């Protein structure tokens, strides 16, 4: 897959990308990211310089959504790039919606992740000890405690293999 020819209308340095395949697809020109959400109202791709990074070095809003798949192509990214998503939408626990953009999410299609969870109250989507329990919403950022998804290079040099 090559970078789509149509630049992103908001940021001409970015491209709309493609909805498929899902996850992060490394190409010679950059990385195509795509993630499914039927009810999201906003999706941000967060890029991190280090797996243990507490702050994203770059946050990119995804404006392109095709059949409930949010997607973007980011030029010049390489294998090893750490990333996660922040997804906003309705907070209606009674309907199964618990969107919380304060929480960094792993890519469910990631082929690799870095590190492990560091347990901290910020890792919970609700306020611990709250009388409403998990019907409350915690606004603390969890990026410092969350593993990150990692872009991988799926190619393999079969040279010499018989």
- Residue spans of the domains in the chain: they are 23-150
Per-residue pLDDT band at 50 (split at 50, 70, 90):
very high
Q: What is the mean pLDDT of residues 38-53?
A: 96
Query: Which residues, at least 6 apart from 47, have a Cβ–Cβ distance to it below 8 Å?
Result: 56, 57, 58, 59, 60, 74, 77, 81, 82, 83
* Contact (Cβ atoms closer than 8 angstroms) between residue 34 and residue 18: yes
**Residue pLDDT, tens place only, 92-149:** 999 999 999 999 999 999 999 998 999 999 999 999 998 888 899 999 999 999 999 9
* Contact (Cβ atoms closer than 8 angstroms) between residue 46 and residue 54: no
Q: What is the mean pLDDT of residues 76-82?
A: 97
User: Hey, how many other C-beta atoms are within 10 angstroms of the C-beta on 144?
Assistant: 15
Return the pLDDT at 158: 77
- Bridge-based pairing state of the strands 69-75 and 82-88: unpaired
Return the pLDDT at 157: 77
Global pTM exceeds 0.85:
yes
Domain topology for 23-150: Immunoglobulin-like (2.60.40)
Q: What distance in Å separates the CA atoms of residue 28 and residue 4, rounded to the nearest whole number?
A: 13
For the cut 60, the answer to whether the pLDDT of residue 32 exceeds it is yes
Q: What distance in Å separates the CA atoms of residue 161 and residue 139, rounded to the nearest whole number?
A: 52
For the cut 60, the answer to whether the pLDDT of residue 4 exceeds it is no
* Contact (Cβ atoms closer than 8 angstroms) between residue 131 and residue 150: no
For the cut 80, the answer to whether the pLDDT of residue 46 exceeds it is yes
* Contact (Cβ atoms closer than 8 angstroms) between residue 114 and residue 157: no
């Amino acid at each position: 897959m090559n970078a789509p020819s149509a630049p992103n209308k908001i940021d001409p340095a970015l491209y709309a990308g493609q909805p498929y395949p899902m996850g992060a697809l490394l190409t010679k020109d950059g990385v195509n990211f795509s993630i499914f959400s039927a009810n999201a109202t906003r999706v941000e791709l967060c890029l991190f310089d280090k797996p243990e990074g507490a702050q994203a070095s770059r946050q990119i809003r995804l404006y392109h959504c095709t059949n409930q798949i949010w997607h973007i192509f980011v030029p010049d990214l390489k294998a090893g790039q750490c990333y996660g998503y922040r997804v906003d939408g309705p907070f209606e626990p009674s309907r199964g919606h618990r969107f919380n953009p304060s929480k960094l999410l792993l890519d469910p299609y990631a082929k690799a992740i870095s590190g492990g969870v560091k347990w901290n109250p910020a890792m919970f989507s609700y306020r611990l000890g709250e009388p409403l329990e998990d019907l409350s919403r915690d606004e603390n950022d969890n990026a410092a405690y969350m593993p990150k998804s990692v872009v991988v290079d799926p190619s393999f040099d079969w040279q010499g293999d018989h």
